Amino acid sequence: MTLRIGVDTGGTFTDLCAFDEATGQVHVRKVSSTPDDPGRAIVLGIKELLEQMGGRSIGEVSYLAHGTTVGTNALLTGRGVRTGLITTKGFRDLLELGRGRRPHLYDLQADKPEPLVPRDLRLEVTERVRHDGRIETPLDHEEVRSAVRELKAKKVESIAVCLLYSYLRPDHERQIGEIIAEEFPEAYVSLSSDVMPEFREYERLSTVVTNAYIGPVVANYLSRLRQRLAENGLTCTPHVTQSNGGIIPFPAAESMPVRLVLSGPSTGVVGAAAITSEAGSPNIITFDMGGTSSDVSLVQDGEPKVTAGMELDGRPIRSPMLDIHTVGAGGGSIAWIDSGNHLKVGPASAGAFPGPACYGNGQDATVTDANVVLQVLNPEYLLDGQLKIDAQASHRAVKAIADPLGLTVPEAAQGIIRVVTANMARAIRVISVQRGYDPRDYVLVPFGGAGPLHASRLAIELGITRIIVPETPGAQSALGLLMTDIRSDFMRTQITRVTAQEAAHSAEDLSKVFAELTDHALAWFEEEGIEPERRSIQRRLEMRYAGQNYELPVDVPEGPITAESITALIEGFQHAHDRMYGYSARDEVAEAVTFRVQAIADVPRAAISRAAAEGRKVEDAVVGLREVYLAEEGDYVSCPVYDRRLLDVGHHIVGPAVIEQMDTTTLLLSSDVCTVDDTRNLVIDIRRTPNE
């Protein structure tokens, strides 16, 4: 009776997935996005999806989760609201000064990001807290009151408040919050001690200002969408994905929009983690390749790796998020030749318009055009015939690159693939090798429209020997929404020595902070109405040697913190340090810096059905033969083309081959052997490295 729906809004398409708990079946729908009003495509898509499922009613939907880029887009396009800032006297320019570095070491024409709050809306108030939490100068309430009135008169919609040391002593920020509530109750207010109570004033400031700037946009969007869905008959509370991969109800998300910046990409990772864990491969590297960029991340033991922040468009954002690294390498990335006669690809992209040359509007050779020339992609049409391909246009575009390099057209096309593969490999090294993980120990999981096309070569570049292509790579994020938990993060910075000599003392200090955070988490469970049996709590400590300023995360096991667990924590930290930097300094004192508690509410997730073989023959899935250029063979090679819909559990394909489905194409090189597993994933094993 219950239906669960996931909706992921992307730049070009809105993907929808439904899971029918009664039949265990997953249904997928893709509609064009409506960027001017993203909710329109969502409502339309839901109707079409329900129609496709045989005319089900929206009232049957028990769960709806959404991945959105509304906040991120508002930030990237400068369409947030007019925002004011109240800060400590002497520091209003910090937002512009940042960390003092110029945006590019050598490019004298590069500019800093435009501050989200202009200088005349950044007001200072007299107050000062010190590094030990002591109040040196009390807050001047009258000054605050007149600052709020000034901002109101200057017609801001939103106010960010960021004072020095508020992560230690939030009193003054809270008092300012109260004064704003009295003087200007309709303003959207963000206090840095609520949004991101962490040390380093600029990063905290940038985060709270971003939150304030996009806050009203996100809040409006979510509340309107909620209303619209209700008007169309939805009875359950819709949820939205946060950057940490967990979902929260719409109303809760409205006050912390900055935690949604990776809403879209993170759900794909969660979905991939769930699917491959089920398939027995909990250690994966995800590779989500779309039109303009690729997102990569690492999943260890079924848990995506997390990080505490990122930089978006030159602005730091601190928030719990999945460790997703983005590189400007997508199907639309443009190939070009630099002044030293080297072939480069991206980061410029032909985007949705004009798009690759083969779509008929553009002139530039893109990665997609290279794939058309090589005939890896269907040279006549894509998307089940919805998109006509002009192979001649691709040929012309690639020839313009080939001629100056003295290469043949297929060689140049292959060169484009190699360069873009190297760019993607570099991104994967950032989230694996640079974090102390060897990519050869992981399975590569490609998705997005272009992931499965490039996965095999990328795997070879990284020494990876297994690839798993999920059943619906093009709608992975929407599917991920059906597989994620409700979760919320609570954190506090409190620098605390952790020593074996004073283990009992350390245990007491740590227990105290964790107890407070756990209380917050329990209160949140209550607010959300999560029953006790669905609750779980994860604790993590960020530690460093006293003297360092960068921390490494160490998991804190369940149960009371004792002298013994202190020894284990120190050991865990030494081990993490050794893994990351190749040494540990046992003569040095370790300290805990940030305490993190994650509250997780288990939701019934879409279970992946284990399909039984239907007894079809693999030969029957071959829908044609195509001459595909394989650099590894140095020529065009005749390859069978399979229709993925006709593939069945247990089918076995030896490369080279091409597997087509509605929104993606998988290339098998001659070194690849592919099996369809019992959850309908393509499991590709690379037997040997082909000669290149």
405 near other proteins, judged by CB under 8 A: yes
**ω into residue 354 within 30 of 0, thus cis?**
yes
Burial 581-612 (b: 16+ CB within 10 A, else e): eeebeeeeebbbbbbbbbbbbebeebebeebe
Q: Least CB distance from residue 445 to other proteins, whole Å?
A: 22
26: β partners: 19
Determine the size of the site formed for other proteins (CB under 8 A): 62
Say what angle helices 563-581 and 503-528 make with each other, to 10 degrees: 90
497 near other proteins, judged by CB under 8 A: no
99 near other proteins, judged by CB under 8 A: yes
- Number of neighbours of residue 557 by Cβ within 10 angstroms: 11
Q: Least CB distance from residue 424 to other proteins, whole Å?
A: 11
164 near other proteins, judged by CB under 8 A: yes
**Closest to 33 in 3D by CA, of 484, 481, 361, 352:** 352
**Closest to 156 in 3D by CA, of 182, 184, 181, 198:** 184
**ω into residue 347 within 30 of 0, thus cis?**
yes
Q: Least CB distance from residue 316 to other proteins, whole Å?
A: 12
Helices (H) and strands (E) in the chain, counts: 16, 35
Helix residue ranges per DSSP H, 88-200: 94-97, 141-153, 171-183, 192-195
Of 199 and 437, CB closest to other proteins: 199
**Closest to 447 in 3D by CA, of 418, 476, 415, 481:** 476
Q: Least CB distance from residue 194 to other proteins, whole Å?
A: 18
Please list every residue from 101 through 120 that binds other proteins, using CB under 8 A: 101-102, 104-109, 111-112, 118-120
**ω into residue 446 within 30 of 0, thus cis?**
no
With the CA atoms of 621, 624, 629 and 633 taken in that order, what torsion angle do they form, in degrees rounded to the nearest 10? 60
State both tokens at 66. Answer: 């959404």
Which one among 418, 520, 535, 616 touches other proteins, defined by CB under 8 A?
418
Which one among 57, 77, 131, 691 touches other proteins, defined by CB under 8 A?
131
Of 109 and 638, CB closest to other proteins: 109
Of 30 and 492, CB closest to other proteins: 492
Sign of CA pseudo-dihedral 282, 287, 288, 293 = positive
Q: Least CB distance from residue 658 to other proteins, whole Å?
A: 23
Which one among 23, 25, 59, 130 touches other proteins, defined by CB under 8 A?
130
Q: What character string, x for contact with other proteins (CB under 8 A) and - otherwise, covers 540-579?
A: -----x-xxxx--------------------------x--
Of 582 and 615, CB closest to other proteins: 582
Classified as helix, coil or strand, 603 is: coil
Q: Least CB distance from residue 379 to other proteins, whole Å?
A: 23
Q: Least CB distance from residue 337 to other proteins, whole Å?
A: 10
Q: Least CB distance from residue 256 to other proteins, whole Å?
A: 22
150 near other proteins, judged by CB under 8 A: no
Which one among 396, 426, 535, 605 touches other proteins, defined by CB under 8 A?
426
Please list every residue from 343 through 362 that binds other proteins, using CB under 8 A: 343-344
585 near other proteins, judged by CB under 8 A: yes
Which one among 79, 224, 342, 512 touches other proteins, defined by CB under 8 A?
342
For residues 575 and 568, give the distance between their C-alpha atoms in angstroms, rounded to a whole number: 10
582 near other proteins, judged by CB under 8 A: yes
Please list every residue from 171 through 200 that binds other proteins, using CB under 8 A: 199-200
Q: Least CB distance from residue 580 to other proteins, whole Å?
A: 8
Of 101 and 652, CB closest to other proteins: 101
Which one among 26, 28, 70, 94 touches other proteins, defined by CB under 8 A?
94
Of 426 and 534, CB closest to other proteins: 426
Of 43 and 455, CB closest to other proteins: 455
Of 23 and 434, CB closest to other proteins: 434
Q: Least CB distance from residue 167 to other proteins, whole Å?
A: 8
388 near other proteins, judged by CB under 8 A: no
Per-residue 3-state assignment (H helix, E strand, C coil) for 412-478 = HHHHHHHHHHHHHHHHHHHHCHHHCCCHHHCEEEEECCCHHHHHHHHHHHHCCCEEEECCCHHHHHH
State both tokens at 327. Answer: 């590189």
Classified as helix, coil or strand, 579 is: helix
Q: Least CB distance from residue 343 to other proteins, whole Å?
A: 6
Q: How many Å is the maximal CA-CA distance in the chain?
A: 81
For residues 336 and 345, give the distance between their C-alpha atoms in angstroms, rounded to a whole number: 6
**Closest to 547 in 3D by CA, of 604, 595, 585, 490:** 585
Would you give the end-to-end CA distance of the chain in angstroms? Answer: 54
Q: Least CB distance from residue 621 to other proteins, whole Å?
A: 35
For residues 368 and 456, give the distance between their C-alpha atoms in angstroms, rounded to a whole number: 16
434 near other proteins, judged by CB under 8 A: yes
Q: For residue 331, report the phi and psi dihedrals to the nearest 5 degrees.
A: -60, -30
Residue span binding other proteins (CB under 8 A) among the ranges 251-259, 275-283, 303-311, 336-344: 336-344
Q: Least CB distance from residue 567 to other proteins, whole Å?
A: 23
Which one among 307, 423, 506, 666 touches other proteins, defined by CB under 8 A?
423
How far are the Cα atoms of 2, 5, 41, 233, 326 from residue 60, in angstroms, in the given order? 6, 10, 20, 9, 37
Of 417 and 599, CB closest to other proteins: 417
State both tokens at 2. Answer: 């219950």
For tokens 């394989």, the residue is 630
Which one among 54, 55, 185, 340 touches other proteins, defined by CB under 8 A?
340
Asked if 32 and 15 count as a contact pair (C-beta separation under 8 A), the reply is: no
Asked if 180 and 125 count as a contact pair (C-beta separation under 8 A), the reply is: no
Which one among 127, 201, 489, 591 touches other proteins, defined by CB under 8 A?
201
Of 545 and 636, CB closest to other proteins: 545
Of 194 and 677, CB closest to other proteins: 194
Which one among 77, 341, 501, 638 touches other proteins, defined by CB under 8 A?
341
Residue span binding other proteins (CB under 8 A) among the ranges 41-49, 87-95, 234-242, 661-669: 87-95
202 near other proteins, judged by CB under 8 A: yes
Of 391 and 585, CB closest to other proteins: 585
Classified as helix, coil or strand, 655 is: coil
Q: Which residues bind other proteins (CB under 8 A)?
A: 89-94, 96-97, 99-102, 104-109, 111-112, 118-120, 130-131, 164-165, 199-202, 338-344, 405, 415, 418-419, 422-423, 426, 429-430, 433-434, 463, 545, 547-550, 577, 580-583, 585, 588
